[in-house]
Structure 1
Amino acid sequence: MIQLQDFRTARRLISPHMRVTPVFAIGKPDFGAGIHQGANVPELYLKLENLQVSGSFKARGAMNAALNLDDDVRQKGLVTASGGNHGMGVINAARVLGVPVKIFLPTNTPKPKVAKLRKSGVDVALVGAVWDEANHAAMAHARETGMAYIHPFADPNVIAGQGTIALELLEQQADLDTLVIAVGGGGLISGVASAARMIRPGIRIVGVEPMGAPTLFESLKKNEVVALPAVNTAATSLAPRQSSALNVDLIGKNVDRIVLVSDDEMRNAAGWMWRELGLSVELSAAAGMAAVMQNRLGEGDMGKTGIIVCGTGTDGQ
């Protein structure tokens, strides 16, 4: 079981290498004709992890995992499989620590992310149609070479690193009633929901997944890890075919509900965030706003609502 002290320790460990990202208060926005309107629109506070080093929150978990490795293990290098953002986070950790790195990507990774990773000058391999297949290749490479494998979500140190967002956010805006968090494999929501509930037990937590990759939605319905037969979403950073028992357990204990949004709804939300707020984000980072715009958070007053804007991108432009 991850304890509050684990998140505090992770924060101390990674803070020299991370940014304290700002919170952007936008009140109760007018989304325009035909979109969720009126008194039920919550008061919104955006945690801008799109401004984090490497472009997303993933840098936190990757750095915490890398710093928790024994030095002799770390010196052999880091390897992972990623939809893009975790790869950039692991590259950042490797650069800070001065060790080799190799990133495996599935072929459905958006081309701009592949180009960004390759431009960084590290060893990048495209393997498999989806993340799960790239992940098998990454683990095999770790076994063959002795490089340290860093899982993007099913690792307590990664989860503790991602959960440091909750510590920051609830210092910056202590009176939040609801947190809205995009869900892929579940590392972000596992960490943030667990830490937030320890600090503020009554806070409501809502996860948001793509309709084309309802991995945790289906797993929580059955209270077990469910492997989807296929995924079908352009939000590839939210699209593993399955999560893990660790994440399903933490999410089941700490998250009130998981809701689904379509790719078009995320795309519209990303466009609104660019036009109205000047925020350049990827589809996954617009998932939470899409859920608000479509009035999917649940019944009743959501109160002061924090949305984690998890990654930069140009999907709204």
Structure 2
Amino acid sequence: MNSQTSLSRVDFDAAAARIRGRVRRTPTLEALACRSEAAPGTRLLLKLENLQPTGSFKVRGATNTVMSLSEEEKARGLITASGGNHGLGVAFGARMSGCPAVIYLPESTPSAKAAKLKDWGAEVIVHGAVWDDANEAAMVRADADGLTYIHPFADPRVVAGQGTIALEMLADNPEIDTLVVAIGGGGLIAGISTAAKLLKPGIRVIGVEPVGAPTHHAARAAGHLVTLDKIETAAGTLAPRTSAELNFGLISENVDELALVSDPEMKAAAEWLWSEAGIAAELSGAAALAALRTGAAKVAEGANIGVVVCGAGTDGIG
């Protein structure tokens, strides 16, 4: 299936209906003081996905996927690999559905997220240095035990769930003409950019990656998926060594520009969010704002900019 037709407005609307009442319709905060952080005269609107019950946007895609499963698929038990946030989303969906969940995490996952997963009744296995290692082990376990595997980004149901963020942002603030979104595996920006372009074809979408994990930046330069030799960022939820064809295709079609930010720049943005707005964002949650503050994301004077604060945490302000 061509990625241009793999997700339609119907898919995003169905996802929105499926997750309604199960996840939060998060607010958008206008950050007036941040006008000086971007181009002159710009207006900045922060979509607070850090306020989701699991602390990140991942609960949208995970919940949409779990709610799409058959009773037999849920009864077999769920399994995934995650830098933390998707695992929390799957555990949330599993607990809501009354089925068991197994979550594989890389060694870089914050201990607080592993502890929270255990509190929610998930079986937690720490394996490998990065997400790709944990995912390989999770897929082996899924095959061996007959568990239902939920990919954190390379699943149309996950992408559709994440895209509901764009539906909400443009319903609340139809004047938004630029979206700035962090990129890890690519599920978030694939969903947001595809849904946003369906609603408002002229909207500009900018993706943001860490300098130490430029997975999509490298893929765009090469014209195909690539696998990074190494990961050098503390923003573990933005740090897969490779993505997937579904995400690469949607991002290639719908994301206008890619920007890179360093860990210190993400930390500075997280500190700004905390000091100016009382928002506790993890490094990944502050990545999009960091790109605006540094000028890595190019926006026009007078732009109405929507920024997704994608995850809560204290690693950016600790």
TM-score, scaled relative to structure 1:
0.95
Q: SS in structure 1 opposite 2:195?
A: helix
**What is aligned with 1:215?**
215
**What is aligned with 1:5?**
10
1:122 shift after superposition: 1.9
- Of 9, 15, 22, the match for 2:20: 15
**What is aligned with 1:106?**
106
Q: SS in structure 1 opposite 2:202?
A: coil
Segments of structure 1 that go 5 or more residues without pairing to the other structure are none
Question: Is 1:128 matched up with 2:128?
Answer: yes
**What is aligned with 1:48?**
48
Say if 1:209 and 1:287, in contact at 8 Å, map to a contact too.
yes
Q: Give the distance between the partners of 2:165 and 2:299, measured in 1 at CA.
A: 26
Say if 2:269 and 2:286, in contact at 8 Å, map to a contact too.
yes
Say if 2:35 and 2:44, in contact at 8 Å, map to a contact too.
no
Say if 1:215 and 1:243, in contact at 8 Å, map to a contact too.
yes
Deviating beyond 3 angstroms after TM superposition, the runs of 4 or more aligned structure 1 residues are none
- Number of residues paired by the alignment? 312
Alignment CA distance shift 1:41-1:269 (3 Å):
farther
Q: SS in structure 1 opposite 2:31?
A: strand
Alignment CA distance shift 1:28-1:205 (3 Å):
farther
Q: Which amino acid aligns with 1:20?
A: R
Q: SS in structure 2 opposite 1:229?
A: coil
**CA-to-aligned-CA distance 1:161-199 (integer Å, 9 cap, x gap):** 000111111101111010000000000000000000000
**What is aligned with 1:267?**
267
Say if 2:19 and 2:60, in contact at 8 Å, map to a contact too.
yes
Say if 2:153 and 2:186, in contact at 8 Å, map to a contact too.
yes
Say if 1:41 and 1:292, in contact at 8 Å, map to a contact too.
no
1:77 shift after superposition: 1.0
**What is aligned with 2:74?**
74
**CA-to-aligned-CA distance 1:265-314 (integer Å, 9 cap, x gap):** 00010001001100011000000110111012126336000000101101
1:28 shift after superposition: 5.1
1:109 shift after superposition: 1.3
Q: Give the alignment's Cα RMSD to 1 decimal.
A: 1.4
Say if 1:80 and 1:135, in contact at 8 Å, map to a contact too.
yes
**CA-to-aligned-CA distance 1:192-220 (integer Å, 9 cap, x gap):** 00000000000000000000000011111
TM-score, scaled relative to structure 2:
0.95
Alignment CA distance shift 1:41-1:135 (3 Å):
farther
Q: Which amino acid aligns with 2:93?
A: A
